[in-house]
Amino acid sequence: MKMIFRKTLLYQSSVEYADYCINHVEGCAHGCKFPCYAMMMKKRCGIIKSYKEWLQPKIVANALELLDREIPRYKHKIRFVHLCFSTDPLMYKYPEVADLTLKIIDRLNMDNIRCTVLTKGIYPKVLVNTKKYGENNEYGITLISLDKEFKKRLEPYSAPYKDRIKSLKYLHNKGLKTWISMEPYPTPNLVEQDLEKILKEVSFVDKIIFGKLNYNVTSSQFGVNGDFYHNCADMVIEFCKDNGIEYHIKYGTQKKDNRKTKKIFIKNTAQDPGLKYSK
Ligand code: SF4
């Protein structure tokens, strides 16, 4: 696997998923075609030239050395670290990526820094070893469909939906916190599907985040886009309330909602009121 070296690793993010964030890989072999926002940004900045290049991930070879240097510097400010925002930490078919991700989680947890993780890959079972990995980490998968044909078109090289769910459920069954990122949720002209069926598949999780699809030409051509997302969000809210699941509807998904984003994974402390049910 190709390698790169970076000067810094930990950074503070304004994205609502994150407090501090780590992207220890450049590129992503999952190759989503929504399109992938991270790939668009890297192209715009001239860091990568093509989709083909994006598909060939390069690992940050000095990631652990950087962490050793940066953790003492930022530790007092960090509330949690998100892996990852502009790549996938458990790239399906790249065990080197999972190895480094596990080492990073271990290193952060050693300093009592909790992690939130989001993937379209498969969770390694070793994460249930809470003597090594912290029990306060939150493990999520992106799940926006159960339709294999849709996955082939839009998320061609990611892990199969059923395998993603199975690996997440394994962590849940062992007592770990799990969540679903149900975004970018596709419009019916991309795939005809039953949202409730998808929700039922993941009713075991602690938290669901739902959001619409942006930057997609086909989706924006769907005539009643606004009504569609408004109704989907209502369905998610009702489902979560009925099943005692925390939820967050990304701002702008429902009609007349132009609020700015807010932090989703902040802990429930006096300083950080956090999320119970959120709209
Ligand atoms: S998994 Fe995430 S980072 Fe990777 S291509 Fe898909 S959207 Fe982009």
β-bridge mates for residue 179, sequence order: 140, 207
C-alpha angle 139/145/151, rounded to 5°?
Answer: 100
What is the per-residue pLDDT across 223-279, written as a single tens digit (0 to 9) for each?
888 899 999 999 999 999 999 999 999 888 877 666 665 666 665 444 433 444 444
89 CB under 6 A from ligand 1? no
What is the per-residue pLDDT across 83-137, written as a single tens digit (0 to 9) for each?
999 999 999 889 999 999 999 999 999 999 999 999 999 999 999 999 999 999 9
Residue 258: the pLDDT is 67
C-alpha 270 – ligand 1 centre gap (Å): 35
31 CB under 6 A from ligand 1? yes
Choose one of 120, 182, 213 to mutate for the ligand 1 pocket test, by most ligand atoms within 8 angstroms of C-beta.
120
**Mean per-residue pLDDT, 37-54:** 95
C-alpha 89 – ligand 1 centre gap (Å): 10
* CA–CA separation, 254 and 248 (whole Å): 12
18 CB under 6 A from ligand 1? no
* CA–CA separation, 257 and 229 (whole Å): 12
C-alpha 42 – ligand 1 centre gap (Å): 12
Does the structure show a pLDDT above 70 at 139?
Answer: yes
151 CB under 6 A from ligand 1? no
Atom of ligand 1 nearest to the CA of 120: 1
Q: How far is CA 206 from CA 139, 145, 178, in A?
A: 10, 19, 6
Q: How far is CA 33 from the centre of its chain?
A: 16
* CA–CA separation, 264 and 274 (whole Å): 7
Q: Structure tokens of 88?
A: 């996938």
Atom of ligand 1 nearest to the CA of 86: 3
* CA–CA separation, 69 and 107 (whole Å): 12
Domain boundaries, the chain: 2-178
C-alpha 106 – ligand 1 centre gap (Å): 23
190 CB under 6 A from ligand 1? no
What is the per-residue pLDDT across 79-94, written as a single tens digit (0 to 9) for each?
999 999 999 999 988 9
pTM: predicted TM-score of the whole model, two decimal places: 0.92
